[in-house]
Amino acid sequence: MNDILRRLGIESVNAGGFCGEWIGSGDTLESKSPGDGSTLASVTQVTTDEYDQIAHRAHEAFLSWRVLPAPVRGETVRQLGNALREAKADLGALVTLEMGKILPEGGGEVQEMIDICDFAVGLSRQLYGLTMHSERPGHRMYEQWHPLGVVGVISAFNFPVAVWSWNGALASVCGDAVLWKPSSQTPLTAIACTKIAERVCKATGADPAIFSLVIGRGSSVGERLLEDRRIPLVSATGSCNMGYRVGEVVGKRLGRSILELGGNNAIIVTPEADMALVVPAILFGAVGTAGQRCTSTRRIIVHESMRSELVERLLAAYKQVNIGNPMESGTLMGPLIDTKAVDTMMTAIATIKQEGGEILCGGEKLEGQQYASGCYVTPCIASARNEFQIVQDETFAPILYIIGYKTLDEAIHLHNDVPQGLSSAIFTRNLLEAERFLAHTGSDCGIANVNIGTSGAEIGGAFGGEKETGGGRESGSDAWRAYMRRQTNTINYTTELPLAQGIKFGG
C-alpha cells in the first residue's frame, strides 16, 4: 500500500487545494479504507478564502487556455491519457483502497479515464457548427461554439476518478478550465489525478491551473462553488437531494448545471428472455460495486410465469458471491463505503419487512476478523411491490427487489412508475417486445438496453437520465456542447440592409 501511495505522490499529509501550486490550511480530513478500516493518509482542506484564490487562478488559466487552437488543447489531453495508462495499475489500486470496489473494477474505472481522453483528442478536431441559409439575399448565416469558462465538477465517492475525467477531458478540449470538488470520502484519488495532470501540463506548457482542485466542506467550500458567478457551469454527480440543492443555487444565479443523480434501475424479464444472459447481467448489475453505482440494478420486473425459476437461479448465484477484501483476487463484492452506508441498508431491510415485503436472501451485516472495518454486508434479494415507498426511494446498497407482472404494458408501467429515470433494460428474444420497450411509449430512462444489463455504460454514448436523475448528459455523443457557448453569426456582404421577415423600416 505504501509503495502505491508513494508512486502516486501521496504523502502522509497532503494539501487539499491546487491552482498551479498546492495549498490548504483548513481542517484535517482523514481518508480511511473501507476494506480494513486503516488510515491511508490525511488531507488539509481548503478554507473559503483559499477557495477564492483557487477559483481566481482557474479563471486566469481559462483566459489563456481558451485562445489556443482546440487541437493544441487536445495534445495536452492526449498526453494526459498516456500518463493515465502508465499509472493505471497504481491508480486503480488506490481506487480500490479508498473506495472499496474490487480491483478489476478499480482498473476498469481508470480505463474509462483513458478512453474518454482518447475520445476527447479526436473531438478536439470536431467541434463543429452549422451553416444555415439566410432569408436575406447577400447574407451568410452560421453558428460556432466558443469556450465557456471555468467548469465546476462535483464528483461522488462511487466513481472517484472517472466522473472527473468525463467532464475534464471534454471541458478542456472545449477550451474550459476545470475546478474539481471531489467527495470527502475519496480525496486521495483526486489528489493523485491532479498530480498526474499537473505533470502533464508542465510538460506541454499548459497552465496547470486548468485542472484545479478544492477539497473542503460542502457547507462552506461547496456552497461557495455553487454561488460563484465565475463558474458558468456546474456538473454535479450525487444524490437527488444534492441535485435539488445544486439546481436551486446555480439556477438562482442563472448558471448552468449538468446533474447526474439517483437511479432506480429496472430490468424487465419476459417469457422470451434467454436466462443464460439474464442471471449474470442481474448479478453484475446488483452486486457489482456492492450496489453503489447510479446504474446498479435495483428492480427486477419479471413475468409471473418466469418468477419462480428466476428467483431460484438468482438465489443459487448469490450463494457463490465471494465477499471480502477488494484487493484480493477472486473477490466479487467488497465493502460499502462506510458504516453509515451499512446502517442505511439495515434500516432499508427493516422497512421492507414493515411495508409487507419478504427478504429472500442476504441483508446481513458481516462480522469477524476479515470484516473488522464494519463495512461488509451480504447482498439482499427481496420480494416487494413497486408502490412500496422503500422501492420508490433509491437505497445505495446491494438490495434487489423482485416484482411480478402479467402483461408487457403492465411491466412498462411498473418500470416507469418511479421518480428516477437513469438506466433500464429488457431481456427478450422477441423483436416486437424489444422495440416496444425502446419506443417513445416504452422506457422513460436516458439509457435503455436490450439483452444487456443496466450497469456498465460505454463512454461513446451520452450518459445521463431523466426525471429526478437530473436530465444531464456527460461523456460521449454530443455531450461536449454543454461545455461551450453557442453563437449564431450573420454576415452581410452587400451594400444593402434588408431586414428579416421582410420588415420595411423608415422611408
Phi, psi of 246 (to 5 degrees): -60, -50
Residue of 260, 433, 468, 474 with catalytic role: 260
Q: What is Dmax (Cα atoms) for the chain? A: 92
Q: Which residues contact 244 (CB under 8 A, 6 or more apart)?
A: none
Cα separation, 127 vs 439, whole angstroms? 30
Cα separation, 473 vs 455, whole angstroms? 16
Residue of 174, 240, 294, 445 with catalytic role: 294
Reduced to 3 states (helix: H, G, I; strand: E, B; else coil), residue 202 is helix
Cα separation, 48 vs 226, whole angstroms? 13
360 within 8 A of 402, measured Cβ to Cβ: yes
Q: Residue by residue, what is the 3-state secondary structure of 22-78?
A: EECCCCEEEEECCCCCCEEEEEECCCHHHHHHHHHHHHHHHHHHCCCCHHHHHHHHH
Cα separation, 174 vs 462, whole angstroms? 16
DSSP symbol at 96? H
269 within 8 A of 425, measured Cβ to Cβ: no
Within 10 A of 473 (CB to CB), how many other CB atoms are there?
Answer: 20
Beta-carbon-side half-sphere exposure of residue 384 (alpha carbons within 13 Å): 28
Phi, psi of 359 (to 5 degrees): -80, 120
Q: Which residues contact 381 (CB under 8 A, 6 or more apart)?
A: 311, 314, 315, 318, 359, 360, 361, 362, 400, 402
Decide if 445 is catalytic.
Answer: no
Decide if 260 is catalytic.
Answer: yes
Cα separation, 443 vs 447, whole angstroms? 9
Within 10 A of 48 (CB to CB), how many other CB atoms are there?
Answer: 15
The catalytic site residues sit at 260, 294
